[in-house]
Amino acid sequence: MQWILQQFEDTRKLADALDRLRIGYSWHKVVPFVGELVPEPEVRDPSAVVMFGSYTLWRYAEARGLRPGVFRIAPFVHEQPWQPFMLNGPDAVFLRVGEIEAALPDDGRGWFIRPVADSKEQAGAVRTAADIRETARKVMSLDADEISHGSLRPDTLMMLTPPARILKEWRIWIVNGNVVTYSLYKEGARVTYRHEIDEDALEFTRTLARLNAGYSPAYVMDICRTEQGLRLLETNCINAAGFYAADLAKLAATLDRLA
């Protein structure tokens, strides 16, 4: 597998793992708004290339027919097999940015909000209705040519759910339906990265992966423990998700074998 990396703190950690495995890679910068790579990679075999860095690398990969390139994923909220296990899934409200000000009352409530697509325009977070409405107003005040690639747009579909009390959060890396590695990344309100997972949480993840086996050859799943039990938080593109305390050597070796 040919590895193409964009320079970030996390991809430097991945490069360290690749060095230990004696797997080659190359570093590249992404030209903003254009999507070209500098330097331009010399692709040996377009069917055996994987890219890690920003989510926008998918455009480069698809334009040049690189496979697997970037593992794009469908919005997890539309995946029927997972819906009974989602955090606040039945209570979710779906609004485009352009609809928020008219549809979301400024009543002091808090909402967890994130884009439906795994497109990284905005990280998921709990925000007040007033704050969400203000963000929508700012987006709507811009002309189309003033909105940069990767930013919220009037037609960006957002998911809003009531906040829930979360006790633990884990990120799990899944390749070909199998759990490869994992990391705790939050305990209560405290961010903490440890290479560990509760046994029932690991089995819960395996069950979700089996229930939706055709979702993607490789992706990241975030799950959490709440007072009501284990729940699916979201999925993420494996090529652009933070690594936390994952076993990167194991992940890199598994992905490299996909070639």
CB-CB contact of 224 with 231 (8 Å): yes
In the block, tokens 């597998």 appear at: 1
Helix (H, G, I), strand (E, B) or coil at 114: strand
Cα–Cα separations (whole angstroms), residue 8 to 16, 29, 111, 234: 12, 10, 30, 23
For helices 9-21 and 248-256, what crossing angle results, to 10°?
70
Helix (H, G, I), strand (E, B) or coil at 211: helix
For residue 61 the two structure tokens come to 């990969």
| Element spanning 4, H or E | strand 2-6
Mean pLDDT of 229-247: 96
Torsion of CA 177, 183, 189, 190, to 10 degrees: -170
For residue 35 the two structure tokens come to 């999507």
pLDDT for the residue 49: 98
Q: Let me know how many helices (H) and strands (E) the chain has, helices first.
A: 6, 14
Q: Classify residue 122 as exposed, middle or buried by CB count within 10 Å of its CB (0-12, 13-18, 19+).
A: middle
CB atoms within 10 A of CB 96: 15
Confidence check: pLDDT of 166 > 80: yes
Rounded Cα distance, 247 and 234, in Å: 21
The per-residue DSSP string of 6-29 comes to E--HHHHHHHHHHHHHT--EEEEE
Rounded Cα distance, 142 and 146, in Å: 6
Rounded Cα distance, 188 and 126, in Å: 14
pLDDT band at 120 (very low <50, low <70, confident <90, very high): low
What is the percent of the chain with per-residue pLDDT over 90, rounded to a whole number? 79
Per-residue pLDDT tens digits for 15-35: 999 999 999 999 999 987 677
| Element spanning 159, H or E | strand 157-161
Confidence check: pLDDT of 119 > 80: no
In the block, tokens 């009531």 appear at: 162
pLDDT band at 106 (very low <50, low <70, confident <90, very high): very high
Mean pLDDT of 61-70: 96
Q: What is the DSSP letter of 255?
A: H
Mean pLDDT of 57-81: 94
pLDDT band at 42 (very low <50, low <70, confident <90, very high): very high
pLDDT band at 145 (very low <50, low <70, confident <90, very high): confident
Query: In what side-by-side order are the strands of the sheet with 166-175?
Result: 190-194, 178-187, 166-175, 218-226, 229-236
